[in-house]
Amino acid sequence: MLKLASKGSLFTLLILLSVVTSACEMSDKGEQLTTTAEGPSSAVLFSDFAYPVGSNHEIKFLVPNGLEIHSIESDSNKVYIQYPQFSGLKNKMIEEKLNRSVEAMTQEMKAQLDPKTIVPYRGIRKFIAEEATASYVSLQGYTSYNHNNIVSVQLHGSGEYGSMWISIVKGLTIDLNTGDSVPLRALFVDGYDYISAINDAIMKEVTKTHGMGDTEMGYGYELIRPFTGIDENQAYILGEQGIIILFDENDDQFDHTFSTVTFMMDYALFEEQLAIDARYYAKEDCLFEDETERRMLTSWKKSGHYENEMLSGEIKGGTYYITTYSSTERLDNVFKQMIEDAKAEIMAISFEGKDNFADVSLSKMPIGDYVAITGYFGIYSNANSDSKEIYALYDKNDTLVGSPDLFKPNFDYHRVVQRIIKLACDENRDYDYEKIMAAYDHLSFELDYRGIVVKVLYDNPLHYNNYFRYNIPFHEFGIENLVIFD
């Protein structure tokens, strides 16, 4: 026989159902749950909106945030200040929290560069007294990363105090779901030993340098005591190509004259251990007032691959230079053959007179699953100068592709291109719409990590002396109409 529940037991049942429902909702948002002897407990790894990301995570593309960025600028009393502010979030409380955080970081740096309010560190007061006067102070901030619900702001400050000069770098990386700071560990897949990976990379770079000097990762500084490594929450900034690790002015490990030490680490150093695209992002939860679907390809160096070479020699009547750069091991044979072909073409040149030269530049770089080989061939003589562009695009199968191959069959990309040309000409009177459209048959495309570059050449299609060039973001074509995201 079925018994009716009492009011008390019914209330208890409703509470239990509410708890179960809340737990399910948190799990759906990616909150990580740990199981104890008493049952599941809410143990959030990073924040309420941190999604779990497993190892060997491949980043196919990034999703630009739908933020609008405004610049706040002032210049008075020998102090120049410029920093970004943001709008476009649906949640205005989080938007305000983000903007206040940027303002607070700016004011903190301003105080640190003011002789009256400098926080004493490492004996700086021996060089800059409280009554000293700054001849000029500059604070310049910009958005260095703005994708997948993460925004990173980089702030550079410098001050001149007589013969003394200080340079400070600070950064702020924010989860747009909450307005909270993103800890360094959240950038990597779950369980990855990011501390050891970063420490090893820094030590390799430090051992390359003796004193100060430019290095591939930034500025090399000589250690003045044994390197103890980064801490769990080391300061950092996200950039388009990598993570910038910061050792602030208080750090006494490096000989850096009261300034910030920075190490730029390419994303490729971490291979498939990055979680920057998935930790705080879910396609179905758009945080922005503008819900347009945007995407951007990655253009990171692969497997730390980096080659740069310059060749030069004498030819009749002058000199030649061939500069090459490669950031992927793919298509090496094709690239080498293009270099040999360029050299053969150069050697066939016979200049009149002397002090003439030929200049060739070739680059091979990944753009998502594609590889682009770009460059130019220039001839500069006393009698005449001319140049031509070099461009070839290969798909994920290393097959040469043409411009229409970037789009789905039957998609009318001309309609989009012509609309953008008209808008560009309306905004920039230097463009001649009639002249561009008269030469529209010379339309060509180049793949960029931010969009598709369209070019309309006024003259010989091989030459770029006169052309319309415009980078059209992918979303203008419609993500669903592009083959590159399949």
Cα-flanking dihedrals φ and ψ of residue 205, to 5°? -75, -40
Which stretches within 66-151 are classed as H helix?
Answer: 92-112
Task: Give the whole-angstrom CA distance, residue 199 versus residue 428.
Answer: 49
Task: Read off the amino acid at residue 36.
Answer: T
Cα-flanking dihedrals φ and ψ of residue 288, to 5°? -115, 150
Q: Which of 12-21, 156-165, 216-225 has the lowest mean pLDDT?
A: 12-21
Residue 176 in tokens: 């747009």
| C-alpha distances in Å from residue 270, one per residue of 56, 57, 145, 184 | 10, 11, 18, 13
Residue 114 in tokens: 């003011």
Task: Give the whole-angstrom CA distance, residue 65 versus residue 89.
Answer: 9
Residues forming beta bridges with residue 358, ordered by sequence position: 320, 379
**pLDDT for residue 121:** 66
Give the alpha-carbon dihedral of 326, 330, 331, 332, to 10 degrees.
Answer: 60
pLDDT in tens, 335-365: 999 999 998 988 888 887 788 888 999 999 9
Q: Which of 55-64, 423-432, 477-486 has the lowest mean pLDDT?
A: 423-432
pTM for this structure?
0.80
Task: Give the whole-angstrom CA distance, residue 99 versus residue 70.
Answer: 11
As to burial, measured by CB atoms within 10 angstroms (0-12 exposed, 13-18 middle, 19+ buried), residue 434 is exposed
With beta carbons less than 8 A apart as the criterion, state whether 56 and 272 touch.
yes
Residues forming beta bridges with residue 74, ordered by sequence position: 81
pLDDT in tens, 200-259: 988 887 766 544 444 444 445 677 778 889 999 899 999 998 999 998 877 777 766 678
Q: Give Cα 173 distance to the centre of its chain.
A: 13
Write down the residue that tokens 């770009």 correspond to. Answer: 374
pLDDT in tens, 106-136: 999 998 888 887 777 666 776 777 777 788 8
Q: Which of 213-227, 244-258, 266-280, 417-431 has the lowest mean pLDDT?
A: 213-227
Among 315, 156, 340, which residue's Cα sits nearest to residue 246? Answer: 156
Which stretches within 118-237 are classed as H helix?
Answer: 194-208
| C-alpha distances in Å from residue 167, one per residue of 41, 184, 211, 304 | 46, 23, 18, 29
Residue 74 in tokens: 């002032």
Task: Give the whole-angstrom CA distance, residue 136 versus residue 113.
Answer: 10
With beta carbons less than 8 A apart as the criterion, state whether 64 and 288 touch.
no
Which stretches within 181-324 are classed as H helix?
Answer: 194-208
> How would residue 24 be classed by pLDDT, with cut points 50, 70 and 90?
very low
pLDDT in tens, 286-322: 999 999 999 999 887 655 456 788 888 888 888 989 9
Interstrand relation of 79-87 and 136-147 (parallel, antiparallel or unpaired) = parallel
Among 375, 374, 366, which residue's Cα sits nearest to residue 398? Answer: 366
- Residue 25 scores a pLDDT above 80: no
The alpha-carbon radius of gyration of the chain (Å, integer) is 28
3-state secondary structure of 153: strand
With beta carbons less than 8 A apart as the criterion, state whether 53 and 110 touch.
no
Domains and CATH numbers, the chain: 68-291 (3.30.565.40), 307-401 (3.30.565.40), 404-485 (no CATH)
DSSP secondary structure code for residue 6 in this structure:
P
With beta carbons less than 8 A apart as the criterion, state whether 198 and 209 touch.
no
Sequence-distant (≥ 6) Cβ neighbours of residue 350 within 8 angstroms: 315, 316, 317
